[in-house]
């Protein structure tokens, strides 16, 4: 893994915003009258499900890829994320005219394979399991000299994801609460670096599935806890914090809240029904926390991030009560 630079500050995140502005959308903030009435406060929803590739991941991948020199880019880039980050790396690489390789287990769903292919990536199949994926990725580094773009444990990626919070503050600077889903922690750490420098009085809360509560456990124990392959419907939040994201979150976050699988399903459906926005379950955890009254909105002005909208429409979250 090459060096990903140093921990970004607000200035670095503003530079990232500039760097990626030609590729990513400035997504809208949406409000919902019925959700605001339900939770009795202001709720501005940052629509990253309307972002390129359908997820905020477009930002971090673009910042990392665009930070590379033409020489570094010459041999291509690679990742072993088969989700939104894989598509994001492929898009950014294609924009810069270089190749992207995405390592995927041979049992990955065809729908994910097609999505990554549709952005022009080369797929490298491997046997299932993290060790096999990492070995396949290392082989690409050794044989082709590709640059690896990690989905979250990379300061350039963290800076890119931080541009979400930067835009929220430009669009609605008077919020007093920001709710962010937590998987590997790239979006949360990037957001904290923006908010705590720009307007530290804004409370920032991370939300994760109770059955993938590595961030909560890490905060409690003071040491980074890793949960291997947790089983949650919020498939974008299965990763554990990395050694670059954990220290930022431990230092700056106001709280980490966990939510049940049922609340995640109910929240996803609520947003589809009331807001007509097709978000993926990972994006619904802030609303799940409101539904479970773990976070009180009454009289407050909150923003939350709808992190992505990539869902298999043949198998909806509420048609999977039997477990993922």
Backbone angles phi, psi at 33, to 5 degrees: -60, -40
The answer to whether residues 283 and 254 touch, using CB atoms and an 8 Å cutoff, is: no
Which is nearer to a second copy, 54 or 286 (by Cβ)? 54
Given 2, 318, 321, 324, the residue binding a second copy (CB under 8 A): 318
The answer to whether residues 153 and 244 touch, using CB atoms and an 8 Å cutoff, is: yes
d(CA 233, CA 254): 25
Given 279, 284, 288, 304, the residue binding a second copy (CB under 8 A): 279
x-marked contacts with a second copy along 48-67 as a string, rule CB under 8 A: -xx-x-x-------------
180 lies in the binding site for a second copy (CB under 8 A): no
Catalytic, 42? Answer no
Catalytic, 57? Answer yes
37 lies in the binding site for a second copy (CB under 8 A): no
The answer to whether residues 47 and 24 touch, using CB atoms and an 8 Å cutoff, is: no
HSE-CB of 324 using CA atoms within 13 angstroms: 18
28 lies in the binding site for a second copy (CB under 8 A): yes
11 lies in the binding site for a second copy (CB under 8 A): no
Binding region for a second copy (CB under 8 A) out of 8-16, 164-172, 224-232, 273-281: 273-281
Which is nearer to a second copy, 33 or 144 (by Cβ)? 33
CA distances from 45 to 87, 301, 305 (A): 23, 11, 6
Given 107, 314, 322, 323, the residue binding a second copy (CB under 8 A): 314
Which is nearer to a second copy, 69 or 319 (by Cβ)? 319
Rounded least distance, CB 212 to a second copy, Å: 24
DSSP 95-160: HTT--EEEEEETTS-HHHHHHHHHTTPEEEEE-SSHHHHHHHHHHHHHHH-PEE--SSSSHHHHHH
Q: How many CB atoms are located within 10 Å of the residue 44 CB?
A: 21
Binding region for a second copy (CB under 8 A) out of 70-78, 193-201, 238-246, 313-321: 313-321
273 lies in the binding site for a second copy (CB under 8 A): yes
Work out the angle between the directed axes of helices 84-95 and 110-118 (0-180°, nearest 10): 20
Rounded least distance, CB 273 to a second copy, Å: 6
Instruction: Report, as residue numbers or ranges, the catalytic residues.
Output: 57, 82
Site residues, a second copy (CB under 8 A)? 28, 30, 33, 49-50, 52, 54, 269, 272-273, 275-279, 309, 313-314, 316, 318
């Amino acid at each position: 893994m090459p060096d990903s630079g140093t921990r970004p500050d607000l200035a670095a995140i503003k530079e990232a915003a500039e760097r990626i502005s030609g590729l990513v959308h400035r997504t809208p903030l949406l409000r919902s009258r019925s959700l605001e009435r339900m939770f009795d406060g202001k709720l501005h929803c940052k629509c990253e499900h309307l972002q390129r590739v359908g997820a905020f991941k477009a930002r971090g991948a673009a910042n990392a890829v665009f930070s590379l020199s033409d020489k570094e880019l010459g041999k291509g880039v690679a990742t072993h994320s088969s989700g939104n980050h894989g598509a994001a790396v492929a898009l950014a690489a294609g924009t810069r005219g270089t190749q992207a390789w995405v390592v995927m287990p041979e049992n990955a769903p065809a729908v994910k394979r097609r999505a990554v292919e549709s952005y022009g990536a080369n797929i490298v199949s491997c046997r299932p399991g993290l060790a096999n994926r990492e070995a396949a990725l290392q082989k690409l580094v050794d044989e082709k000299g590709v640059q690896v773009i990690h989905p979250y444990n990379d300061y350039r990626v963290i800076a890119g994801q931080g541009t979400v919070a930067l835009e929220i503050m430009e669009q609605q600077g008077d919020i007093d609460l920001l709710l962010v889903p937590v998987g590997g922690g790239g979006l949360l750490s990037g957001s904290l670096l923006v908010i705590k420098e720009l307007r530290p009085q804004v409370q920032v809360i991370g939300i994760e599935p109770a059955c993938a509560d590595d961030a909560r456990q890490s905060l409690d124990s003071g040491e980074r806890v890793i949960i291997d392959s947790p089983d949650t419907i919020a498939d974008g939040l299965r990763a554990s914090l990395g050694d670059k994201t954990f220290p930022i979150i431990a230092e700056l976050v106001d709280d980490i809240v966990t939510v049940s699988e049922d609340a995640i399903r109910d929240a996803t459906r609520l947003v589809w029904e009331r807001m007509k926005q097709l978000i993926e379950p990972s994006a619904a955890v802030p609303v799940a926390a409101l539904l479970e009254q773990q976070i009180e909105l009454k009289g407050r002005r909150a923003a939350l991030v709808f992190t992505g909208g990539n869902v298999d429409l043949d198998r909806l979250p509420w048609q999977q009560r039997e477990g993922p």
